[in-house]
Structure 1
Amino acid sequence: MTPLAAKLLHGLCMVAWWVIRRPFERKTQRNVISHDAMDIREKLLLAVSFAGLGVIPFIYIATGFPRSLNQDFSPLRAVFGLALFVAALALFYATHKALGRNWSVTLKVREEHALVTQGVYRFVRHPMYTAFWMWAIAQALTLQNWLAGFAGIIGFGTLYLFRVGREEALMRATFGADWDAYAARTPRVVPLTRPGRG
């Protein structure tokens, strides 16, 4: 494994992420929205996350900038990072499949929205966030540059920190006691941890 191979394979995984998501975006476009929490805060959080997981690593992969922040390259770290990214892609696909038409990029509730508790949702309440955390960690391992590598953790971490509580409040308002019962037995992001904030 060379630094160039690690960059190219990481970029390929980024493309695969979009390829997985695109068909689900098309399926949900016709759904009628009953509540949409897209506001300036949500747009800013999405932009910060996209910069950290998309824009900054793309610039690094394409140009090598900023080379001055490169770390000593470890092939083993890169291989582990790529394996983690592939696992994230598998979880990402399983999450979309379980959600079906209930999925959306932003905080939206659709007419006839269902509380999904099957598939990967048996193990965590937010497997999509789990997959994004895996991607962010994989990026830090594969793109061994202090800026490009850690931009994903900072970018997605910012979105997660300021969004997950708001999303859970929306789920509680929509599903009431069913959500509370589900949240009481299911960890938030990390499987096999204590339910609640997990």
Structure 2
Amino acid sequence: MTPALAGSILWVLMVVGWYVIRYPFERRAKRRRVERTRRGTAETVRMAISFTGLGILPGVSVATGWPEFAGFDPYWWQIGLGAIAMVLALVLFRKTHKALGRMWSVSLDIREKHELVTSGIYRRLRHPMYTAFWTMALAQALLVPNWIAGLAGLVGFGTLFFFRIGPEERMMEETFGEAYRDYRQKTARIIPGVF
């Protein structure tokens, strides 16, 4: 087995792991009424850009090798680092879903009887799911042996993150007021003690 093939297989396993973790929460979320949402054209565009970078481009590349001119032969150490990032991303992803439970939403939604989650992994980070996605994008850059498709996750998710974080935090402050302002003062956004 070559490092390129190993990286591609690991990327596929990461996507499968992501789906297995998310699916039950997505099913449950559909049963809970949304009281307020910030979905709209801007959110749809952000999600599409992120999905293109973290799903479509690397998926096409892994399946077909396209774009061929951007392919390269990775090193085993690179695949090893990618595997570590992949495992870390999936562990973080699972912890965020477990902590959010019924409050989970794929988009900017406030659900019926929504509560501010400040326990579990949310004790130190306001947006650990974004931390998980950044780590997933890093894993993709290391695992997918294509300069364009590999780095597309960082660009795609980065676009979602930087254009969504402000509206999301404003929505949380509007919903939870002083409780959210206090929580924001005690926590980092995505990296403990850094940002």
- Bin of the TM-score, shorter chain as denominator length: over 0.9
**2:193 corresponds to which letter in structure 1?**
L
1:135-176: CA deviation from partner (whole Å, max 9, x where unpaired): 011111111311011000000000001000000000000000
TM-score, with structure 2 as normaliser: 0.97
Letter in 1 for 2:112: E
Q: Sequence identity of aligned pairs in percent?
A: 47
Higher mean Cα deviation, 46-55 or 61-70?
Answer: 61-70
Shift of 1:191: 1.4
**In 2, distance between residues paired with 1:171 and 1:48?**
24
2:71 partner amino acid: N
- Report runs of 4+ in structure 1 exceeding 2 Å deviation: none
Cα distance in 2 between the residues matched to 1:49 and 1:134: 14
Contact 2:89 2:136 in 1 (8 A): yes
Higher RCO structure, 1 or 2 (CA under 8 Å, sep 6+) = 2
Question: When the two structures are aligned, how many residues end up with a matched partner?
Answer: 194
Partner of 1:153: 154
Aligned-pair CA distance for 1:192: 2.4
* CA drift at 1:67: 2.0
SS at match of 2:134: helix
SS in structure 1 at match of 2:35? strand
State the match for 1:68 in structure 2.
Answer: 69
Distance 2:39 2:98 in 1: 23
CA shift, 1:90, in A, is 0.7
Other-structure match for 2:16: 15
Out of 2-11 and 67-76, give the one that drifted further. 67-76
Counterpart Cα distance in 2 of 1:28 and 1:72: 41
Unaligned runs of 5+ in 1: none
Residue identity matched to 1:71? F
User: Which SS does the other structure have where 2:150 is aligned?
Assistant: helix
SS in 1 for 2:165: helix
Cα RMSD (Å): 0.9
1 CA distance for matches of 2:37 and 2:166?
A: 16
- Aligned-residue offset at 1:25: 0.8
